[in-house]
Structure 1
Amino acid sequence: MSEFINHGDSHSIENIEKVAEKARELEAIYDVVQDPLVLIDSDFNIQRANLATIRFAKNNKYDELLDRKCYEVLYQRTDVCPYCPKINVKSKDKNQSYSTPITREIFFRSEDKKQTLLLEFYPYPKQEDLFWMVEKISDVTKQRDKEEESFRMRNLASLGILISGIAHELNNPLTGISLTLQNLKANWQNQPPEQIEKRLDMIKNDISRAAIIVSDIISFAKTDKVKVTLGDIVETITRAKDTVIRLYPHLSKNINWRITCDHEYQFPFHPGKMERLFMNLFRNSLQAFDYRPGEISIEIRKTKNWLHIIIEDNAGGIPDSIIQKIFDPFFTSNKSGTGTGLGLSICHSIVKEHDGNISVKSVEQKTRFTISFPLTNDITEPNS
């Protein structure tokens, strides 16, 4: 009998040692975690903690952490933290996932040092009606600072691009004014009055376009519907073509323009914005030609209740890898860095303001933009 007892005691001791060894292994794993890990009972007392918790709590002795309130030791508070989830589950829910943490992000000041802490609370079912929780504390101060700095840099970059885009838009009418003034200054003594008057009208039109651009920038955040008036789209396209040729004489020098339409088409649109739409598209084609000879064709036709405007150039086409991105704001394929990538985005915006659609295809070294506007009987007269 004594031999059986001795054998049983030996077996028990061996089991205890194995359990103790496993506990030491788990404790070693627990302690190498760099973030504080704390086991807290239902009365907010600390029952277990790793070495990182001792460092976080500025406490050199492990035993001094145990059985003390977590909010006192960790956060120097006299009452339960307001961000504590206060897990009080009365009965164990078999469907509850205890691996999904409850998270809180807090600002914490320790020794005049501000920290951003990410707290993760994992419910731990101690007994049938008793739940403890494991709290993991991560210092995400540097990470959040980097995110905020990155956000500020993105905002500054966006602001820079926006300012560049505004300059890009205003540069067209300002360039027209400058060229016309230079021509007047050089030739005003030899030109007849009607030519001088014609150039003064051109300056007036460019100033009006600049004013419209500034007005659009001011009202950028407004969602008011665009004001439209009955206009001749063929006349507007022709005016945009003439303006682009005047602004970019060298790019336009070897370009053949072809406008095809069976008669005049009138429908309600905003004349200034519509002219900007076609100016941007024509300028985009001219830049694609890069001083090479070619042709830009414009076809206007009507099908049922839609007016379609097809603009095609043979400047080489658009690669498949970027054709889906060309309407994205700030996207540009111009490697010289002279473009802002806003031109086609502005085109897309203007078309949508008129309840239209714009699409692009590129085949056989040609690029074709198709713009479609709905035709209705509703005509909005401009405000006086």
Structure 2
Amino acid sequence: MQTLLKFKIMKLKNLSLNTKFTLSISLIIFAFCVIFSFLIYYHLKQKVIEDANEKTRIIITQIDALGNYVKEELRPAIFKLLHETGKKDEFIVEGMSTTHVRLSVMKRFNNKIGNYTYKRVSLEPINPLHKADALHAKLIDYFQRNPDKESWSGIVKSESQELLIMAKPIVVEKGCLICHGKIKDAPKALLKMFPREQDFKWKEGEIMGVESVSLPIASTLGEIKGVAISTFLFGVVSLIFLFVALQGAFWSFVIKPLKRLSSLFRGIVNGTEPLNQTIEAKTKDEIGELIFSFNQMSKYLFEAQEATKKYAETLQTIFEGITDPLALVNPDCTVEMTNHAYRTWMIEGRAAVFNERCDPERVDPDKFCPVHFLKKVIDTKKPFSEYWEGEDQKHYFIHLYPIFDDKGNVIKLVHYVKDITEKRKIEEQMRITEKLAAIGQLSAGLAHEINNPLGGIKLCFNNLISTEMDEETKNRHIEVINQGLTKIQEIIKQLLDFSKQSELVISLVSVNSLVENVLKLTDYLISKKGIKVIKKLSADVPEIMVDSNKIEQVFLNIVLNAIQAMDGKEGTLTVQSYLKNGYCYISFTDTGPGIPDEIFPKIFDPFFTTKPVGEGTGLGLSVSKSIVEQHNGRILVETSNRGSTFTVELPVK
């Protein structure tokens, strides 16, 4: 039922304005005629009922007056006359019975004015003909239950016809008990006419019956209905003529101009009509204002369309002129829009661009490719950037930006790719240069670390050559020589590992161990400068996936800068590691003079240095920042006149 109602509502919505207007006016006319006819019928019916009630009230009042005359004057006079003539047991019904007199008078009344029916009945009448029927029995019961009511009027249905009835209760009075009381008190003549075997049990003040005047109103109501129907039909016909006139005027003044506008709109949408055209407004009414507004809108849209075309051409030129590949990609990897660079890479079969349809839900877990990045953006609904080395041995920077629909679902992605192979080579050369510079700063310490075991080795060799010694002493000298050579070998190996060029090699590494290695490597410089080292390395820091060689280079660069900052005074280097919000933090705090405000924004710029010529390349922090960002981390810097803190932030996962 509900579906059917929705269907009908949708069908009505699809109707034309003219049809809706016709249906609306038709319904309004029909409703108006029905309501107007009903009001006429109701008014006439109420008027008839009021008139009938008034007439029945007058009749019953006159009958009551007649009854009271018989009861109060005529009957006592006849009783007196009968007593005086010695006929006290006689009873003259025609003059002494109020019921008989009332009925006789109403019978003669109906001979002149028909349709009125008078009844005076009781549940226990003297005359059986005056026995109350079902309707009057209900009226008697009503007055017995409501003794304060003096009358009742209304319309009832009796014997398949509607009657308007006015009824009054018959109350037992003292004089009534002569005939309607005990047998011994009743006139013998009355008992001969209406014999009975037992006394009536009426008491003074009780309701013994009702008298009523009724009038059939069915024919009158039928006439009223006829008047209402005639009024309805006349109203419908009259309003139909009015409706036709209104429909014609509405068509001429509203529908026809609107159809003209609608036809023009369809032509513009379909491309058969030009947008920059003007319609002549023949009137200055609302339709004329609408046509004027259409002309203004048409002009504005034409100008906006032309401007949009120019903007689109400009954007297309810019889009095509971008040297890096850029594309709009669907979630199934199909490419919707590309620039020239992207299309070139597709032709070349580059691994970093999408060349065919894919299913992100069925990605090969053993084959790391851009589809993995696309699936991650769809799942997380966040932009994604990644440095990636493809199967073609080239390095790429890949960025995917999601586009959402109204429900927040990813429907398209902006795909930007940049070939950073050459940049990586330059960065690697910069890292090597910076390593060599660091080695230069460490050279004094390295020479000291190598000279110490060499001195011991030389002494042991001299003793072995020039001194006679037993076998045990000789073995101890040989052991010292081996230990010294091993130590020199470890120092040289550590130096070679640090300085050699290497690709990014990710492995599970303890960050705390990397810090310890760097502090060992710089131990001579730190001791020589009189710097105190405080280590606060948290045991809760887990092993993380990093390139140990490159992260070690980052820590070394920061430590060497801290030593340089505290040069000339005894300072303190505090090294701390800790976990926070899924990230590992390694901070290096010195007690130097801090970084001046004017050079603070430049500290990560390549080749920027405050060291004297020959003591620094200006690549340390720049290379360190590049390495950390390659690991999806950050370098945070805080500085004041009490020192500086460099914090390396690396993701645990």
Task: Give the TM-score category using the shorter length.
Answer: 0.3 to 0.5
Higher relative contact order (CA 8 A, sep 6+): 1
Query: Which structure has the highest helix share of the two?
Result: 2
Query: Which structure has the highest strand share of the two?
Result: 1
Q: TM-score, normalised by structure 2?
A: 0.29
